[in-house]
Structure 1
Amino acid sequence: MRVMVMVKATTDSEAGLMPEPAMFEAMGKFNEELVNAGIMRTGDGLKPSSQGKRIAFDGPSRTVIDGPFAQTNELVAGFWIWEVRDMAEAVEWAKRCPNPMPGPSELEIRPFYEMADFAEIAGPEIIEQEERLRAKLEGGAPAAERA
């Protein structure tokens, strides 16, 4: 089961405050444990929403909205993609995580849809296309080479 573990933003992360060296080191050790256990697929921190953009869709129209965005506690400051047996394993790993922020903070764990979840609506050609795309992504070129 693949899950995304999201580090929820705080006023500190939205202000762009960098972590203390001890927290950065503790998180590095935790990430190493995840990798060594075969759990972590990828993960990164995100810059504050003031450096982001949103694209709002309404039928054919598109509107670009500049950050920062309100509701700090609804924003994501970082993420991991984990491969776990089940949600219980994801929760156990998340509980071992060092506090990712200087003060109170939260992690949110959400499972990914798998192609099996779409079995009733996706025909074999759609499933084959998704499998081809996933294989291509796993061996894809870096963004700098696509430019």
Structure 2
Amino acid sequence: MHFLIVRKADSDSEAGAPVTRELVDAMAAYCDELAVQGRFHAGEGLKPSRDGVRVHFTAGREPVLTDGPFAEAKELVAGFSVIEADSMDDAVAWVKGWPTEDANGHAEIELRPIGCPGGLSNFGDPAEDESGRTRYIVMLKANARSETDWNPGPEILGRMAEANRAGHEAGYLIAGNGLSSSRHARRVRFSKGQPQVFDGPFAEIKEMVAGFWVLRVDSLDDVIAWTRTYPFPDGDDARLEIRPLYDMEELLAPLA
């Protein structure tokens, strides 16, 4: 099974605080436990919400943009990983070992099983390459319907599959994953390095994520243009958050 490991934002991540050598070394050693087994598939950091936008649509799929930063820091996403584990319990056991160097031992992590409730295939790899183009994550925000593990049906799923295929073959849509509802999720909240586990579902539906795509394009305008035509399961009612991803050179620049 594949799981999305979401590191929730905090005041430091929202301020764009530079990473420390201690944190980089601790996270590298921690992730190596799964990487050597071929079960660590991605690990990405999101730039602060001040660099992002939220999108909703008017009639005719005209995008309406709200610039960041966004107020509800504790519900924002600061980073994500994709791992492989035998079960949710196994994934939680791994997360319980999260390095105390992160957030001074007060990190909050959400675990979500990866998989579209309708069976749409996940695809791609969000990792950076040598192109130099910025990577953006487009997060489809959850709603009451997605929290029921709603299946949009073969017509919509077929249009989504075709759009995914076309974008992936064109080279700009590099990854996409659907997520099951938060009733299948867990949260691990650390206090002074000690984990406490909470079972879903979770109440703050409007801040949760139902699925995401990663695009490698020249500008935010290119991402906005893509959202105008993509057949989201909620159609014109889709609510999106778009954030640029860090590249490794930029993330580690303070340590140079």
TM bin, normalised by shorter chain, reads 0.7 to 0.9
Q: For residues 152 and 76 of structure 2, what CA distance do their matches in structure 1 show?
A: 33
Count of residue pairs the alignment pairs up: 141
* 1:48 partner letter: P
Partner of 2:154: 122
Q: Tell me the secondary structure at the aligned position of residue 101 of structure 1.
A: helix
2:92 maps to: 91
d(CA) in 2 for partners of 1:22, 1:29: 11
Is the strand fraction higher in 1 or 2?
2
Matched, 1:108 2:110: yes
Tell me the equivalent position of 2:201.
none
TM-score (ref. length: structure 2): 0.47
Letter aligned with residue 29 of structure 1? A
User: Secondary structure of the equivalent of 2:104?
Assistant: coil
TM-score using structure 1 length = 0.77
TM-superposed deviation, 1:101:
1.8
Structure 2 unaligned spans of 5+: 121-148, 173-215, 223-256
| Cα distance per residue 1:80-100 (max 9 Å; x no partner) | 011222111111111122133
Aligned AA for 2:17? L
Give the aligned CA root-mean-square deviation in angstroms.
Answer: 3.2
Establish whether residue 53 from structure 1 lines up as the match of residue 53 from structure 2: yes
Using CA pairs under 8 Å that are at least 6 residues apart, name the structure with larger relative contact order, 1 or 2: 1
Q: Give the counterpart letter for 1:104 in structure 2.
A: H
Alpha-carbon distance in 2 for matches of 1:107, 1:92: 12
Q: Which moved more, 1:2-11 or 1:110-119?
A: 110-119
What is the aligned partner in structure 1 of residue 35 from structure 2? 35
Do the aligned partners of residues 45 and 118 (structure 1) sit closer, same or farther apart at CA in structure 2, a change above 3 Å counting? same
Please give the alpha-carbon distance, in whole angstroms, between the structure 2 residues aligned to 1:27 and 1:70: 28
**CA distance in structure 1 between the aligned counterparts of 2:62 and 2:151, rounded to whole angstroms:** 32
Deviation of 1:30 after TM superposition, in Å, equals 1.3
- Cα distance in structure 2, aligned partners of 1:144 and 1:61: 20
- In structure 1, the residue matched to 2:73 is 72
Deviation (angstroms), 1:144: 6.4
Identity %: 34
Shift of 1:34: 1.9
1:19–1:101 Cα contact (<8 Å) kept: no
Alignment gaps of 5+ in structure 1: none
| Superposition deviation, residue 25 in structure 1 | 0.5
Choose between structure 1 and 2: higher helix proportion: 1
Tell me the CA shift for residue 28 of structure 1: 1.0
